[in-house]
Amino acid sequence: MTDQPTPASTEGKPSALVRFDAFAAMLGDRRPAVFLDYDGTLTPIVERPDLAVLDESVRAVIRRLAGLCPVAVVSGRDLDDVARHVGIDDLIYAGSHGFDIRGPGLRTRIGEEYLGDLDSAEAELLRHLQGVEGALVERKRFAIAIHTRRVAPDRKASVGDAVRGVAAAFPNLRVTGGKEIHELRPNVPWDKGKAVLSLLDRLGLAGPETLPLYLGDDETDEDAFRALAGRGEGKGVGIRVMDPPAPSAAGWSLKAPAEAGAFLDRLAVWLAEG
């Protein structure tokens, strides 16, 4: 996280779906490069990660869109996990918040030297949280996610304390958060935003003829919104999927995954007609 001014709320920011004509006018004759989060963006947030199943109609839209412009899925999930859930070959997948990237002609892993620390931290977390009903410790290759959605409200704070206590013993790891989740990941200057900027460079999409779009719903997606905003006005677009409104560096909004699917459908139709 870098020091940034407090972003304005998504309240009052234009809806990319309701005001799609204005969105398309902003895009103009540039080709979009579309980056998509998964949980909470393409699918609703659910109690357990395995229950977040992509609707077939949304999968069809993404497949159609990928035939019209570059599409990448950038998720906190393990790479193989998110690729299996999306189920579309030849997309670019960035798992573990961009620490693990795979696509046609692409293979990048960041932080492999910290896998031993993650193994040890996982064992400590399982020991500390074994008595907390509903706490789910999910080991990913490059991160450990601790889900609290099913934890009783009066125990959630103690889960956070336990995570921070374990993290203190592993200076090579850092704590990040999100909706009902704590995560430990390698303490290196890498996140979804840096992964997106890296992909733009490696795929030859950093020029003025391309406008990168990022759709996301959670705190970790703010890294990508800030990274695109940092490219300069009109050189990157963040779309925050959330309701109710909250502070965000994104310039546009959508209220729910259903609206995200409808927006992607409109974008695919617009690109096909253009």
Residues serving a catalytic function are: 37
Contact 184, 206 (CB under 8 A): no
The Cα 33–Cα 68 span in angstroms is 10
**Rg (alpha carbons) of the chain, rounded to whole number:** 18
Q: Which amino acid is at 259?
A: E
The answer to whether 173 and 145 are in contact (CB under 8 A) is no
Residues in Cβ contact with 62 at an 8 Å cutoff, skipping those fewer than 6 apart: 36, 42, 71, 86, 88, 91, 264
Q: Which letter does DSSP use for residue 243 in this model? A: S
Alpha-carbon dihedral 187, 74, 137, 165, rounded to 10 degrees? 20
Strands 210-216 and 31-36: parallel
Say if residue 92 is exposed, middle or buried (CB neighbours under 10 Å; 0-12, 13-18, 19+). Answer: buried
**CA 268, 67, 29, 273 torsion: positive or negative?**
negative
- Calpha distance 148→171 (Å, rounded): 23
Q: Which residues pair with 238 in a beta bridge?
A: 214
